[in-house]
Amino acid sequence: MYYCSNYTLAVALCVVTMLCWGSWGNTQKLAGKTWRYELFYWDYVVGILAFSLVMGFTMGSCGENAQWGFLANLKSSFGASWLWPFASGIVFNLSNILLAAAIAVAGMSVAFPVGVGLALVGGTILNYAVKKQGSIALIAVGLVLIVSSIVCNALAFKAKHGDGGDRFAAKKGLVLALLAGLLMMWFSPLVNKVIDLTFTKAAPEAGMMTPYTGFFLFAIGIFVSNFVFNTVAMRKPVQGEPILDGAKRYFGGSISTHLVGVLGGCIWGMGTLLSFVSGGAAGPAISYALGQGATLVSALWGILVWREFKGAPKKSGVLNFAMIVLFLAGLALLVAAGQ
């Protein structure tokens, strides 16, 4: 089983997590040209589950201590501890469907900074409570700067829409992003309750899990709950007409469209697994917070590539620049806090 025990390498893996978490939304934007986000989301969930299995049987089962690998750990951890990552998957799935809806309504450059930014702050605090690792003073100041950057982004979005006729849609997008963030902050602490983050030996503590086992059970929670949450999302959409013939429309999609969604799930899954793998060396709070720097990555995708602020007043550009500066300063303090 591969795991990370070096702080510098752990920070590097967190940066990869940040890039993955901040970039999967591009697959939704690509598929969204011909595909409703609710249909895209089925493929996205399949991608997460498939990736968790592949990683479990490869990275999670390799090396000298393969006897403590994926299948062995699934068996040894069987019991009440399975409920934690499964419940985490359910919570995450509901939050991520709300985030996907916010992307569809308001775009990546708003949904991520508001929703994921809020999740960053709350999740970092909750993860610190699980394992008190890092300077609490630097973490606190870093989070204040990140909250300030979220406020700047929300104000930029408000300035863009002004008093136009789409203000209701803008408000809906912000509300969806806020709800997503309030839920998303809980998924990492729930999983980390049963993942052995000490990494002082190859075998996890009795009843505890390796990152690969925890991630797989987490993915199962996402997959199972999707039959409830996404079905409701199709019947009661936040945008567009209800999808009453979901199965027919889903299976009528092209292979390339399905693969885009699966790719999105794999990209997000890679970021999540690396966050768990690096949590022992960096500490769960630092690992999670750095990964959620995805907020900045996604905002840049939305602003620079998808041109979601095209035609916005100069005030929006100034506020978005302030968002970037404040967010980078906050992330720098979080890195320093871990050292």
- CA gap 339, 331 in Å, rounded: 13
Domain carrying residue 49: 7-338
> What pLDDT is attached to residue 154?
78
- On the 0-12 / 13-18 / 19+ scale of CB atoms within 10 A, 158 is middle
- CA gap 283, 337 in Å, rounded: 10
User: Is 162 among the domain residues?
Assistant: yes
User: Is 1 among the domain residues?
Assistant: no
- pLDDT exceeds 80 at position 126: yes
Contacts of 176 (CB under 8 A, 6+ apart): 98, 99, 101, 102, 105, 106, 111, 115, 238
- CA gap 127, 304 in Å, rounded: 32
CA atoms within 13 A on the CB side of 11: 11
CB atoms under 10 Å from CB of 46, counted, come to 18
- Return the SS3 of 209: strand
Task: List, for residues 214-261, the tens digit of each pLDDT value.
Answer: 999 999 999 999 999 999 999 999 888 999 999 999 999 999 999 999
φ, ψ at 205 (rounded to 5°): -60, 155
φ, ψ at 198 (rounded to 5°): -75, -40
- Cβ–Cβ < 8 Å for 229, 97: yes
User: In terms of Cα–Cα distance, which of 231, 281, 258 is closest to 47?
Assistant: 258
pTM of the model: 0.86
Confidence of residue 200 (pLDDT cuts 50, 70, 90): low
Domain count, the chain: 1
User: Is 266 among the domain residues?
Assistant: yes
Task: List, for residues 5-39, the tens digit of each pLDDT value.
Answer: 888 899 899 989 999 998 998 999 899 888 999 99
- Cβ–Cβ < 8 Å for 156, 321: no
> What pLDDT is attached to residue 38?
93
What phi-psi label fits residue 307: left (phi over 0), alpha (psi between -120 and 50 degrees) or beta?
left
> What pLDDT is attached to residue 296?
82
- Cβ–Cβ < 8 Å for 269, 275: no
DSSP secondary structure, 276-339, as one string: HHTHHHH-HHHHHHHHTTHHHHHHHIIIIIS-TTTT--HHHHHHHHHHHHHHHHHHHHHHHHH-
Mean pLDDT of the chain: 88
Helix extents (H) in 131-278 = 136-161, 167-184, 187-192, 211-235, 246-251, 255-277
User: Is 2 among the domain residues?
Assistant: no
- pLDDT exceeds 70 at position 191: yes
User: Is 115 among the domain residues?
Assistant: yes
φ, ψ at 209 (rounded to 5°): -125, 155
DSSP secondary structure, 168-197, as one string: HHHHHHHHHHHHHHHHHTTHHHHHHTTB--
User: In terms of Cα–Cα distance, which of 118, 176, 125 is closest to 294?
Assistant: 118
Task: List, for residues 74-96, the tens digit of each pLDDT value.
Answer: 998 999 999 999 999 999 999 99
> What pLDDT is attached to residue 282?
84
User: Is 268 among the domain residues?
Assistant: yes
Task: List, for residues 249-283, the tens digit of each pLDDT value.
Answer: 999 999 999 999 999 999 999 999 999 998 888 88
Buried residues in 79-110 as b, exposed as e (16+ CB within 10 A): eebbebbbbbbbbbbbbbbbbbbbbbbbbbbb
- Cβ–Cβ < 8 Å for 292, 116: yes
